[in-house]
Amino acid sequence: MTRRTRFAVGGALLVVAVAVALPAAVMAGPDGTASVQFGNADRGSTGDVGPGIVLHDASPNAQFNLVPGTAVVAAGGIVTFTVGVAGSPSNKTVPHQVAVCKLGIGPDDVVIANPNAIPINDPNCPVVGPSPPSPLAVVQKQFTEPGRYLVLCNLRPHFTEFKMYGWVNVH
Ligand SMILES: [Cu+2]
């Protein structure tokens, strides 16, 4: 089993656990809901990268991930994005911010107006939350129109350097 496979399996188990923990009223039926873990707090080896920041991997690519990379939900369904759920409290130090792009926007279409600012804030990819960015949060979004939506971390380095994005397929 490769490292990548192990991460994927762990993430899948976690998504199942989150789904089971949701109250019955939220479970709207087949594909009425989906859950995405937004960042993997405990992945790889520990390393301090700055005051108060512990990146849990020598290469942050394992941590700066959406699991699953593609979530599927029916039109009208709700996707729950959980930031930082996997980490031990001492490792919940890296903030994230969920942004969902309009239909038709791909990773190469994202406009970074100010390359020196941390937030991307592309009007075509409005922030869902948390606001301000946080290492520990749960945010939800309802998807009414079918299509394939790009979901990214609004913190520019996470997106540009670590490709922290995924997809929601609405059918
Ligand atoms: Cu991020």
Report how far ligand 1's centroid is from the alpha carbon of 165 (Å): 9
CATH code of the domain covering residue 148: 2.60.40.420
Total structural domains in the chain? Answer: 1
pLDDT tens profile 34-71: 999 998 766 655 665 556 665 555 456 667 889 999 99
pLDDT of 60: 61
Report how far ligand 1's centroid is from the alpha carbon of 164 (Å): 7
Report how far ligand 1's centroid is from the alpha carbon of 69 (Å): 14
Q: What is the chain's mean pLDDT, rounded?
A: 79
- Work out the percent of the chain whose per-residue pLDDT is above 90: 55
Distance between CA atoms of residues 98 and 73, nearest Å: 17
State the Cα torsion 22-137-61-69 to the nearest 10°.
40
Give the lowest-confidence range in 8-22, 47-61, 154-168: 8-22
pLDDT of 50: 58
Report how far ligand 1's centroid is from the alpha carbon of 32 (Å): 26
Residue 46 belongs to what domain range? Answer: 3-170
pLDDT of 56: 54
160 near 120, Cβ under 8 Å?
Answer: no
